[in-house]
Amino acid sequence: MVRSLSDATAFANAAAMGQIGIDPDAAQTVLKKIRTGKDQVDSLISQSANLGVAPRLGANPVGTAIAAKYSDRANGGRDSYAQALRNLRAQYEQVETAIVAAIKNYDEMEAAGVRSFNNKA
């Protein structure tokens, strides 16, 4: 996860700085897959809210503590399923933003090339 996050960050930074350009036609398939993935993760995040409901394990202190621990691990803690989904969604968002920026960069590079060519003609 850390490696993919750093890769996504490096890609996003390069796109934001105008160092990467992607042909819009070629990028559409990737964008479609990213957006489909985001939609699926959003659905899982919505469904994961039910996981955080503390089970009924009795009114004794041990049952209460275990129920709270279960609820935290399922829905709220930093190592929880829900947090992992939120992290994945953030990566999808970051890569989507980077691809859109790279498309914009490509369009600007193309326009600059056309201007340069026209100035020499």
Using 50, 70 and 90 to split pLDDT, how confident is the model at 99?
very high
**Structural domain span for residue 72:** 2-120
Burial of 67 (0-12, 13-18, 19+ CB in 10 A): middle
Instruction: Report the predicted TM-score, pTM, of the whole model to 2 decimal places.
Output: 0.70
pLDDT digit string, tens, across residues 8-18? 788 888 888 88
Using 50, 70 and 90 to split pLDDT, how confident is the model at 105?
confident
Contacts of 9 (CB under 8 A, 6+ apart): 94
Q: Calculate the average pLDDT of the chain.
A: 82
> Tokens 């398939």 belong to which residue?
29
Instruction: Name the domain count of the chain.
Output: 1
Of residues 72 and 15, more confidence is placed in 15
pLDDT > 70? residue 62: yes
Q: 55-64: b or e for each residue (b if 16 or more CB lie within 10 Å)?
A: eeeeeeeeee
> Tokens 């890769």 belong to which residue?
7
SS3 75: helix
pLDDT > 60? residue 87: yes
